[in-house]
A = this chain, B = another copy of it.
Amino acid sequence: MKIRFKNAKILTMKDRDIIEGELWVEDDKITYVGPSCSSDQTFDKEIDCGRDLLMPGLKDAHTHTAMTFARSLADNYQLDDWLHKAIFPIEGKLTAEHIDAFYRLGVAEYLKGGVTSCFDMYFQAKATADAAKKIGFRHVFCGSVNDFGGLDRLEDEFDTYNSYDPLISYVLGFHAEYTTSRDKMERISQIAHDRKAPVYAHISETRAEVAGCVERYGVTPVVLFDQIGLFDFGGGGFHCVHFSEEDRKIFKKKGLFLVFNACSNLKLASGIAPVASYIREGQKIAVGTDGAGSNNALSMFREMYLDTVLSNVSEDDAASVDPFEILKAATVGGAECMGLTDCDVLEAGKQADIIRIDMSCPCMQPLNNIANNIVYSGDTSIVKMTMIAGKILYEDGKFNTIDISGVYDRCNGYMRELI
C-alpha cells in the first residue's frame, strides 16, 4: 500500500523547521519527506492535506489504559479511600473481557487525541496485546510487578511480548518502592542484568512515598534503585515530582527518563514537577497521561500545556519552559523512553506513525508560531487523522478498526455489574 500526502506542512521534529511539501508512505514505513516533486511512482491513495500539518504521533509515556472504567468514579474520595473503596474492589473482578473493552475505549481516546503509542502498566497482558494487535495500535508494555504478584510472569511476558507482533513490545518495570519488597526489587535487577534491559517504575510521585522510603531504607527511591542496580541498563521513573539533588545527579549521569504526569499530580494533590529545572539540567524527559481514574482524560495536549506553564509560577518566569522542548518530549522523548527509536521523527525509513493537525481550527490561527499554537492552544479537536504503521486508524471522528458504539455498550454494561 502506497500513500502520498500532498500539499502539507510537515514538522518532522528533527528540528524546528516546518517543510512545505509532501510525505510518502509504503506499507508501514515513510519513504519520502520533502518538497513537492514529480514522481513516476503510482500510489494507491493520494491525500491532499490542504496545507494541514503532518507531525509524528504523540507518545503517551505513562498510562494505565484499561483504567478508563475508573473515569469520574468516586472523584470526591481521597487517594486512600479511592484506591481501597472504589478501585481495588473493581480491579479484583476484572476479567479479560472487561480489560478488552476498557482498553479499546482508552485506545479510541488515544487515537482521537493523536497518540500513536502508549507505555502501559496494567495487568491481563494477553487480552491487552490481542486488542492492540486487532486495532493496529502500537503498544509498549511496562512490567507491573508488586508484592501482590507479577514477578513469576515478568520474564515470561518480556519474552512473549517482545516477539508477539511488530506493534507490541515489552519493557521491564515494577509498580513502586512502597509496594515492592527489597528482595523482589533485587530479583528484578538480576533480570535486568541478565537481559541488559532498562527498568521503569513510579518514582517520587508523593512526598509521603519519598518519606516512607527514607524511613525504611535511609535513602530516597532513586538512590535505593540505583544501589540495587536497577538502572544499570537505563530506564527511568514516572511522575518524578519530588527529587533530591542526589536523585537528579543519578538520573543525569545514567541518562534516565523523567516521565511527567501533570494532570494526575494536580488531581491527586501530589504536587507539581519542577519541569523547568529538569530541562535546564539537560535531563531526558517524556510526557504521559497516567490512567483515566486519576486524570481523568487521556489528552496529551492538556499534559503538554501544563508541563509548559506550571513551572512559570514557581520560577516566577513567564517563559520558564520552551514549548518546543515539551513537544519534543511528547514525541521524540517518549519514543526513545519506550524503545521506539524508529517512531520518533518523520523521515524516510522511519515507521509511519503520523498525525494530521487540522490547521482550520480557530485555535491554530493565526500562524504566528505553529509549534507554540499546538502546545499552548491545542486540544484533541485539532487532530484530523491518526496513522500507525502506515494504516489510518482514525479520521474525522471515525474509528476504522474499533466498533466504538459496541465498545461503549460493553463498557457501560460492565460498569453496572462491577460497581
Binding site for B on A (CB under 8 A): 68-69, 71-73, 75-79, 82, 105-106, 108-109, 112, 263, 265-272, 292, 295-299, 301-302, 305-306, 309-310, 312-313, 315-320, 322-323, 360-363, 365-370, 372-373, 376-381, 404-405, 408, 411-412, 415
A413 to B178, CA, bound (A): 58
**Which 4 pairs, one residue from A and one from B, show the smallest C-beta to C-beta distance?**
A381-B381, A109-B362, A72-B372, A379-B379
Q: Cβ of A362 and Cβ of B404 under 8 Å apart?
A: yes
Q: Is the interface of A mostly helix, strand, loop or mixed?
A: helix
List of B residues within 8 angstroms of A270 by Cβ: 313
Interface centre among A320, A366, A408 (most CB of B within 10 A): A366
Interface centre among A272, A309, A315 (most CB of B within 10 A): A309
Interface centre among A78, A272, A361, A404 (most CB of B within 10 A): A361
Q: Cβ of A366 and Cβ of B69 under 8 Å apart?
A: yes
Q: Cβ of A380 and Cβ of B377 under 8 Å apart?
A: no
Q: Cβ of B313 and Cβ of A266 under 8 Å apart?
A: yes
Known: A75-B319, A112-B361, A265-B313. 16 other contacts (CB 8 A): A68-B362, A68-B365, A68-B366, A71-B363, A71-B368, A71-B373, A72-B369, A77-B319, A82-B318, A112-B362, A263-B309, A296-B373, A296-B377, A363-B380, A366-B411, A379-B380
In the complex, the chain B residue whose C-beta lies closest to that of A110 is B362
Q: Cβ of B415 and Cβ of A269 under 8 Å apart?
A: no
Q: Cβ of A379 and Cβ of B266 under 8 Å apart?
A: no
List of B residues within 8 angstroms of A372 by Cβ: 72, 75, 296
A263 to B308, CA, bound (A): 11
List of B residues within 8 angstroms of A297 by Cβ: 363, 376-379
Given contacts A366-B105, A412-B367, contact A72 B373 (CB under 8 A): yes
Q: Cβ of A77 and Cβ of B318 under 8 Å apart?
A: yes
Given contacts A76-B319, A319-B77, contact A411 B381 (CB under 8 A): no
Interface centre among A76, A272, A313, A361 (most CB of B within 10 A): A313
In the complex, the chain B residue whose C-beta lies closest to that of A108 is B362
User: Can you report 8 residue pairs joining A to B where beta carbons are below 8 Å apart?
Assistant: A72-B377, A112-B361, A267-B318, A268-B312, A269-B315, A297-B379, A302-B305, A367-B412
